[in-house]
Amino acid sequence: MADILSRDFVSVKIDEDRMTGGKDTANALRAHAVQGGIPWFVFLDPSERVLFRGPAPEEAPEGTLGPLLRRDEAVLATADGPDGNVGCPMTPPERDWFLKSVHRARVTLTGDDMAALSAQLLAFARKKIGERADG
């Protein structure tokens, strides 16, 4: 699956605990997240500015930075499906949301690539959760 996705996407992991600013960055990217949890993904438009600093609270000391915020225009799709975070997509609705997200954000991936992703997701889900993967 990674070989297909890497044709159109750059995977970036944000470590909220070990990266300087990681928690602020993750929180900003998840601005409208329905539910928390990991894994979580966001597909971003590389031609758009993604994050910006909002105004500092009035009572904050001078020089204090405002909160990090995301520009919704830069977001092509997220893991936040109709029933919350699809995380590692196992069930049919989760896999469907993931594939729709990839489809929205893809650049060069073909229909055959999307079919291969779907088949790989189903095979992985069947290994992990058995017949529940089929709905």
Which residues are registered as beta bridge partners of 43? Answer: 77
CB 8, CB 107: distance < 8 Å: yes
Q: What is the pLDDT of residue 70?
A: 93
Give residue-wise pLDDT tens across range 52-111.
Answer: 999 888 888 888 888 899 999 999 999 999 988 998 999 999 999 999 999 999 999 999
Closest CA to 44 of 18, 22, 26, 71: 71
pLDDT of residue 65: 87
pLDDT at 76: 97
Residue 31 pLDDT grade (very low, low, confident, very high; cuts 50, 70, 90):
confident
Q: Which residue has the higher pLDDT, 27 or 33?
A: 27
Residue among 114, 108, 107, 105 at smallest CA distance from 44: 105
Is residue 99 within 8 A of residue 117, CB to CB? The reply is yes
Provide the H-helix boundaries in 1-135: 2-5, 22-29, 92-105, 111-129
